[in-house]
Amino acid sequence: SQTIHQWPATLVQPVGSPLSLECTVEGTSNPNLYWYRQAAGRGLQLLFYSVGIGQISSEVPQNLSASRPQDRQFILSSKKLLLSDSGFYLCAWSVMTGELFFGEGSRLTVL
Amino acid sequence: KQEVTQIPAALSVPEGENLVLNCSFTDSAIYNLQWFRQDPGKGLTSLLLIQSSQREQTSGRLNASLDKSSGRSTLYIAASQPGDSATYLCAPFSPNDYKLSFGAGTTVTVRA
């Protein structure tokens, strides 16, 4: 069966520090991969999605970036975090236009 | 751009009552629609997926209907239990841009 792993689960980072969140999917090939952010008390915002290795689409301008170095690996990064980057980050996967499955999330607090 | 609205924003009911959660979306050109559950501080759990050609989908005490032409979906939860307390989100999938658009959710509290 398919599983999705996301880490770290929680992190506290100072303003201006770098960020790396990682997500891997097991049990499937060539999934579509997504990064969402959920700010406190707000809805889910799509940040990036990828339909294949090296193919990244960005939904909103920001100081975050995403990479897909392997078929089932999706990484969210920042060179310098801002206070506004705080939130709950969720990785998700699907195959073509099928059902979307989410990881457990990474809670980021920028101080 | 797809806009998704969920009504009500919050709902509190006594145990055993049936729940009706509403979702409306502006662009009817969807491929499917998914209902999720989110517990506080947790990720999203998929509850039901309805394809655009379907009218409804059922899983246990959950039933979701879809009226694509009018841009509406409804999630019914029968005989609610305290364990059903969570936030429920609907998300239509748009084939034009390969993404789900989320509503703000309905937060449900079932009182024992």
Question: pLDDT (tens digit, 0 to 9) for every residue of chain A, 111 residues total?
Answer: 788 999 999 999 999 999 999 999 998 889 999 999 998 777 888 899 998 998 998 887 678 999 999 999 999 999 999 999 999 999 999 886 678 999 999 999 999
Tell me which residues of chain B, numbers 24 to 53, contact chain A at a CB-CB cutoff of 8 Å: 31-32, 34, 36, 41-46, 49
pLDDT(B96) > 80: no
A-interface mutation test, from B31, B39, B44, most A Cβ less than 10 A away: B44
Count of pairs with CB atoms under 8 A, one residue in A, one in B: 50
From chain A, pick out residues whose CB is under 8 angstroms from the CB of B98: 32, 49, 51, 97
> How open is the CA angle B30-B85-A85, to the nearest 5 degrees?
65
Residue A92: both structure tokens together: 């998700």
pLDDT at B1: 82
> B92 pLDDT band (50/70/90 cuts)?
very high
> Is any Cβ of chain A less than 8 angstroms from the Cβ of B59?
no
Contact B64, B36 (CB under 8 A): no
pLDDT at B71: 95
Contact B24, B5 (CB under 8 A): yes
Cross-chain Cβ contact A102/B43 below 8 Å = yes
- Closest partner CB to A97 (pick from B32, B91, B102): B32
Contact A26, A47 (CB under 8 A): no
Distance from CA of A43 to the nearest CA of B (A): 5
Residue B67: both structure tokens together: 């009226």
- Closest partner CB to B100 (pick from A42, A100, A104): A100
Cross-chain Cβ contact A97/B103 below 8 Å = no
Report the C-alpha gap between A4 and A24 in whole angstroms.
Answer: 6
pLDDT, averaged across chain B: 94
User: What tens digit of pLDDT does each residue of B23-39 get?
Assistant: 999 999 998 999 999 99
Taking residues B94-107, report their average pLDDT.
Answer: 85
Report the C-alpha gap between A58 and B97 in whole angstroms.
Answer: 11
From chain A, pick out residues whose CB is under 8 angstroms from the CB of B1: none
Residue B5: both structure tokens together: 């609205």
Taking residues B18-25, report their average pLDDT.
Answer: 97
